[in-house]
Structure 1
Amino acid sequence: MMGRFSNPVLTKELKLRFRAFKSFSGLMFYLAVLCIFVTGFLLIYTQFSGTAFFRPSDSFTMFAVLSVIQMGLVMFITPGLTAGAISTEREKQTLNILLTTTQSSTQIIVGKLLSSVAFLVLMLVAGLPLYSLVFLFGGVAPSQLITIFLFYLVTLIAIGSIGIMFSTITKRTIVSMITTYGAMIFLAGITGFLFFVGMSMEQMFINTGGPQQNVTPFSPISHFWATINPGVLMVTILYPEMATSLESVTGISMPVWIGYLIFYVLLTAFCLFIAIRKLRANMKTNR
């Protein structure tokens, strides 16, 4: 029974990844960046500001900025871990050997993805002691921390699945990494730009509409761009009043996290489906 659910690819990838020195050096760099930020933040708000105490509002500010920095690091590291998962095997000429084993395409793709996700989860867990300083000074609810980490998990799985997909359909690792980073930039940056452009056009239309000035704003396209943007969701989680402001601007009452969850779950499923279908595409063609 246990053999049916075992994944030798996942087991091998976990052993290779967690035994490699570069994995722990990357983890050390990740924690060093967070420690430098926390230390600098404490110095600025205690010694340099002339006060020797921390207020709950200052603690929440540190939590908000720390969450944003950690999200940025996760989004920067995830493509580097997943974009070369299959293309590296192809470049080393070991992919054909892997495909001749009894492992299915699903086991290979899922094993590659979960091994990368496991390392990223380790990085998030390793940063928890730094978050304990926030609870020491107060100002942050435990539910916010849990929500932020669930948001991290959904996002890194989605970005990881995008990297796995591009790694499968491209032949070179560098091309896969570029396209994955491009998709990440689109989701994190260009969607925000499209949201502001859409809202500007909506406001311009209302101002020049004459009798339509009293019409309630309704912009589902702009709301969609805001919904799939990780930064917008982060802001609405940290500052719930921003969700109300977004609702009044776009005219859509659906919470941002619902649309975000639906979109990224569907995106993950689509990317994994494409990766599984394309993994053995060349073998089927040659037959």
Structure 2
Amino acid sequence: MTELVQEPVTKKKSFMQRLRENPVTVKELRSRMRGRRAFVVLTVHLLVMSGFITLVYSAFASAAGGPFGPDSREVGKVIFSSVLGLQVMLVIFVGPSFTAGAISGEKERQTYDLLRTTLLSAKSFVAGKLVSALSYVLLLILVAIPLQSIAFLMGGVAVIELVLSQVIVLVASVTFALWGLYASARMRTTLAASVVTFAGALFITVGIPVIVGLFSMILSPFFAGAAVFTWQTEAALLYVLMFLAATNLPATLIVSDIVLVEEGSLWYFSTSVGSFSSSSHTIWLFSPWPLFLILYILLAVILFYATVRRVRKIATQ
């Protein structure tokens, strides 16, 4: 009787295993992490942040007028805000700089065609470039978290504030890095990709608030002189402002922290509208951070697949 020989079944690899075994990720991480450069940059980064925190504390202590020095809770809040501000600058400017030349640099070195002739798919190629660039940026962000523990020793900062701020910063870092990667796939040179990347990042973080501020200054005389300014109009303006805050990283961090501290709520709060009319109504406003996470995660997914599509299009040209 003939025996049936079964072929071994290949176990499907998990998503994390495929990322770890991605040849682009392995090659990029080895070239970036080998040598002293990565550790020197990490050490200098921590020394600069530690020195900045020391200067902030010294300035706050010298400016305090009380006989017993500054209020420890206020100092903790200032230190927390300072470290968070440095993390935001890192996400907006340093993170995209790692991805702006990820694909365009391969084109300039004339190694892009060689990479695309391998069996590596376009999705794996883009994921490898993204993970290799984000790994070092996320490392720079995470090593700053122990410095924020100083704020807990002094008080004034809750655990939920730290967790929420780090989640927002991490999601934003992925989105901004993907924006730089998409610009790198669209542009032919690294210089052009860097200009597009930083112009887009500056427009989102600085340009939109400036435009909103200019429009508010222009339209405020018309609203002030309006005969009828209903509570529905005032409520609509508040909802629009909260939505615009949810599209901006610094505004989301600031407004969400105000809602959490002042209103004592993580998700939503109530406020009264109708100060310009005869009747007053209570409306519910949302904290901007959930909408921020939804918008930026959705934008990250769109940018990822747009980059994959662009890479496939380049390969067929």
Q: TM-score, normalised by structure 2?
A: 0.80
- 2:83 matched residue in structure 1: 66
Aligned-partner Cα distance in 1 for 2:243–2:70: 42
- 1:36 matched residue in structure 2: 51
| Alignment CA distance shift 1:231-1:252 (3 Å) | farther
Aligned-partner Cα distance in 2 for 1:246–1:203: 21
| Alignment CA distance shift 1:278-1:58 (3 Å) | same
Instruction: Answer yes or no: is 1:236 the counterpart of 2:255.
Output: yes
Higher mean alpha-carbon deviation, 148-157 vs 188-197, is at: 188-197
Shift, 1:35, TM fit: 1.2
What is the Cα-based RMSD across aligned positions, in Å? 2.7
- 2:277 matched residue in structure 1: none
Shift, 1:281, TM fit: 1.5
Please, which of 204, 209, 226 is the counterpart of residue 209 of structure 1?
A: 226
| Alignment CA distance shift 1:58-1:135 (3 Å) | same
Please, which of 145, 151, 159 is the counterpart of residue 176 of structure 2?
A: 159
Aligned-partner Cα distance in 2 for 1:223–1:197: 17
The answer to which structure has the higher helix fraction is: 1
Instruction: Answer yes or no: is 1:57 the counterpart of 2:74.
Output: yes
1:21-32 correspondence runs (5 A): 21-32=36-47
Aligned-partner Cα distance in 1 for 2:52–2:271: 30
User: Is contact 1:87-1:171 (8 Å) kept?
Assistant: yes
Instruction: Answer yes or no: is 1:104 the counterpart of 2:82.
Output: no
Larger Rg: 2
User: Is contact 2:134-2:177 (8 Å) kept?
Assistant: yes
Aligned-partner Cα distance in 2 for 1:176–1:72: 19
User: Which structure 2 residue ranges, 5 or more long, are not aligned?
Assistant: 1-10, 275-282
Letter of the 2:244 counterpart: W
User: Is contact 2:77-2:156 (8 Å) kept?
Assistant: yes
| Alignment CA distance shift 1:174-1:51 (3 Å) | farther
- 1:46 matched residue in structure 2: 61
| Alignment CA distance shift 1:140-1:262 (3 Å) | same
- 1:144 matched residue in structure 2: 161
Higher mean alpha-carbon deviation, 78-87 vs 51-60, is at: 51-60
User: Is contact 2:95-2:173 (8 Å) kept?
Assistant: yes
Aligned-partner Cα distance in 2 for 1:279–1:13: 18
Aligned-partner Cα distance in 1 for 2:295–2:108: 33
Alpha-carbon displacement from aligned partner over 1:156-190 (angstroms, at most 9, x marks no partner): 00000000000011110011111100111011101
User: Is contact 2:246-2:291 (8 Å) kept?
Assistant: yes
- 2:288 matched residue in structure 1: 256
Letter of the 2:37 counterpart: K
Shift, 1:200, TM fit: 3.7
Letter of the 1:226 counterpart: A
Instruction: Answer yes or no: is 1:284 the counterpart of 2:316.
Output: yes
User: Which structure 1 residue ranges, 5 or more long, are not aligned?
Assistant: none
* 3-state SS of 1:253 partner: strand
- 2:6 matched residue in structure 1: none
Aligned-partner Cα distance in 1 for 2:35–2:209: 37
Shift, 1:199, TM fit: 3.6
Please, which of 205, 210, 230 is the counterpart of residue 193 of structure 1?
A: 210
* 3-state SS of 1:171 partner: coil
Aligned-partner Cα distance in 1 for 2:271–2:173: 25
Shift, 1:46, TM fit: 3.3
User: Is contact 2:255-2:287 (8 Å) kept?
Assistant: no
